[in-house]
Protein backbone atom coordinates (compact mmCIF):
# COMPACT_ATOMS: atom_id res chain seq x y z
CA UNK A 1 0.00 0.00 0.00
CA UNK A 2 2.76 2.44 0.99
CA UNK A 3 4.70 1.65 -2.19
CA UNK A 4 1.54 2.13 -4.25
CA UNK A 5 1.26 5.69 -2.91
CA UNK A 6 4.94 6.62 -2.76
CA UNK A 7 5.89 5.46 -6.27
CA UNK A 8 3.45 7.77 -8.10
CA UNK A 9 4.25 10.66 -5.73
CA UNK A 10 7.97 10.19 -6.39
CA UNK A 11 7.27 10.10 -10.14
CA UNK A 12 5.36 13.39 -10.02
CA UNK A 13 8.20 14.98 -8.02
CA UNK A 14 10.62 13.61 -10.63
CA UNK A 15 8.67 15.15 -13.54
CA UNK A 16 8.48 18.58 -11.89
CA UNK A 17 12.12 18.40 -10.88
CA UNK A 18 13.21 17.31 -14.34
CA UNK A 19 11.48 20.33 -15.84
CA UNK A 20 13.14 22.64 -13.31
CA UNK A 21 16.59 21.14 -13.90
CA UNK A 22 16.25 21.39 -17.68
CA UNK A 23 14.99 24.97 -17.30
CA UNK A 24 18.04 25.88 -15.23
CA UNK A 25 20.44 24.26 -17.69
CA UNK A 26 18.74 25.96 -20.64
CA UNK A 27 18.34 29.44 -19.15
CA UNK A 28 20.48 29.69 -16.02
CA UNK A 29 17.36 30.65 -14.08
CA UNK A 30 15.77 28.81 -11.17
CA UNK A 31 18.76 27.18 -9.50
CA UNK A 32 17.09 27.36 -6.07
CA UNK A 33 13.85 25.77 -7.22
CA UNK A 34 15.70 23.05 -9.10
CA UNK A 35 17.86 22.34 -6.07
CA UNK A 36 14.89 22.10 -3.71
CA UNK A 37 13.13 19.77 -6.15
CA UNK A 38 16.15 17.47 -6.40
CA UNK A 39 16.46 17.31 -2.61
CA UNK A 40 12.73 16.47 -2.37
CA UNK A 41 13.13 13.80 -5.05
CA UNK A 42 16.08 12.34 -3.13
CA UNK A 43 14.11 12.27 0.14
CA UNK A 44 11.23 10.54 -1.63
CA UNK A 45 13.70 8.05 -3.09
CA UNK A 46 15.20 7.28 0.33
CA UNK A 47 11.71 6.83 1.80
CA UNK A 48 10.57 4.48 -0.95
CA UNK A 49 13.82 2.53 -0.70
CA UNK A 50 13.46 1.98 3.05
CA UNK A 51 9.80 1.00 2.82
CA UNK A 52 10.56 -1.24 -0.16
CA UNK A 53 13.35 -2.97 1.77
CA UNK A 54 10.98 -3.60 4.68
CA UNK A 55 8.39 -5.05 2.26
CA UNK A 56 11.05 -7.21 0.61
CA UNK A 57 12.07 -8.51 4.03
CA UNK A 58 8.46 -9.29 4.96
CA UNK A 59 7.83 -11.13 1.69
CA UNK A 60 11.21 -12.71 0.88
CA UNK A 61 13.08 -12.70 4.21
CA UNK A 62 15.83 -10.35 2.95
CA UNK A 63 15.93 -6.57 3.10
CA UNK A 64 17.65 -6.33 -0.26
CA UNK A 65 18.80 -8.51 -3.12
CA UNK A 66 16.19 -11.24 -2.75
CA UNK A 67 16.47 -13.34 -5.93
CA UNK A 68 13.08 -12.11 -7.19
CA UNK A 69 14.28 -8.47 -7.11
CA UNK A 70 18.04 -8.81 -7.43
CA UNK A 71 18.49 -6.69 -10.58
CA UNK A 72 15.94 -4.09 -9.52
CA UNK A 73 17.77 -3.72 -6.20
CA UNK A 74 21.16 -3.57 -7.95
CA UNK A 75 20.03 -0.70 -10.17
CA UNK A 76 18.36 0.93 -7.16
CA UNK A 77 21.79 1.05 -5.50
CA UNK A 78 23.15 2.96 -8.51
CA UNK A 79 20.19 5.36 -8.34
CA UNK A 80 20.71 5.93 -4.62
CA UNK A 81 24.46 6.37 -5.08
CA UNK A 82 23.95 9.03 -7.76
CA UNK A 83 21.33 10.90 -5.71
CA UNK A 84 23.57 10.76 -2.64
CA UNK A 85 26.51 11.97 -4.70
CA UNK A 86 24.33 14.90 -5.77
CA UNK A 87 23.65 15.75 -2.10
CA UNK A 88 27.36 15.52 -1.37
CA UNK A 89 28.08 17.87 -4.28
CA UNK A 90 25.46 20.27 -2.96
CA UNK A 91 26.86 20.40 0.56
CA UNK A 92 30.45 20.20 -0.61
CA UNK A 93 31.43 22.79 -3.15
CA UNK A 94 33.30 20.64 -5.62
CA UNK A 95 30.82 20.97 -8.52
CA UNK A 96 29.46 24.05 -10.20
CA UNK A 97 25.68 24.50 -10.19
CA UNK A 98 25.60 23.30 -13.80
CA UNK A 99 27.71 20.28 -12.83
CA UNK A 100 25.27 19.51 -10.02
CA UNK A 101 22.37 19.63 -12.45
CA UNK A 102 24.13 17.32 -14.91
CA UNK A 103 24.75 14.91 -12.03
CA UNK A 104 21.06 15.15 -11.15
CA UNK A 105 20.17 14.29 -14.75
CA UNK A 106 22.43 11.21 -14.55
CA UNK A 107 20.65 10.20 -11.34
CA UNK A 108 17.30 10.76 -13.05
CA UNK A 109 18.29 8.64 -16.05
CA UNK A 110 19.19 5.78 -13.71
CA UNK A 111 15.88 6.33 -11.89
CA UNK A 112 13.94 6.01 -15.15
CA UNK A 113 15.69 2.70 -15.92
CA UNK A 114 14.91 1.46 -12.40
CA UNK A 115 11.29 2.59 -12.54
CA UNK A 116 10.90 0.80 -15.89
CA UNK A 117 12.28 -2.38 -14.30
CA UNK A 118 9.66 -2.28 -11.58
CA UNK A 119 6.81 -1.40 -13.94
CA UNK A 120 7.75 -4.26 -16.27
CA UNK A 121 8.00 -6.69 -13.34
CA UNK A 122 4.61 -5.56 -12.01
CA UNK A 123 3.05 -5.87 -15.46
CA UNK A 124 4.49 -9.38 -15.92
CA UNK A 125 3.17 -10.41 -12.50
CA UNK A 126 -0.30 -9.09 -13.30
CA UNK A 127 -0.36 -10.81 -16.69
CA UNK A 128 0.84 -14.04 -15.09
CA UNK A 129 -1.83 -13.85 -12.40
CA UNK A 130 -4.54 -13.18 -15.00
CA UNK A 131 -3.32 -16.06 -17.14
CA UNK A 132 -3.24 -18.38 -14.13
CA UNK A 133 -6.74 -17.32 -13.08
CA UNK A 134 -8.15 -17.96 -16.55
CA UNK A 135 -6.45 -21.36 -16.75
CA UNK A 136 -7.86 -22.36 -13.35
CA UNK A 137 -11.37 -21.03 -13.96
CA UNK A 138 -14.07 -23.64 -14.56
CA UNK A 139 -15.38 -23.80 -18.08
CA UNK A 140 -18.49 -21.68 -18.48
CA UNK A 141 -21.57 -23.00 -20.21
CA UNK A 142 -20.63 -26.68 -20.13
CA UNK A 143 -23.59 -28.99 -20.20
CA UNK A 144 -23.99 -31.56 -17.44
CA distances from 119 to 4, 7, 8, 28, 92 (A): 12, 10, 11, 34, 35
How long, in residues, is the chain?
144
Section 5-34 average pLDDT: 97
Averaged confidence pLDDT in the chain? 90
- Return the domain boundaries, the chain: 2-131
pLDDT at 127 over 60: yes
pTM of the model: 0.84
pLDDT for position 136 = 72
Handedness of CA 45, 48, 50, 53 (dihedral sign): negative
Amino acid sequence: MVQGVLAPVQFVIFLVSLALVVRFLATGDGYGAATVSIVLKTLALYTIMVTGAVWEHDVFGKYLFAPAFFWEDAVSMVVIALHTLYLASLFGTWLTPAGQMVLALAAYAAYVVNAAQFVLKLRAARLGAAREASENAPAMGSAT
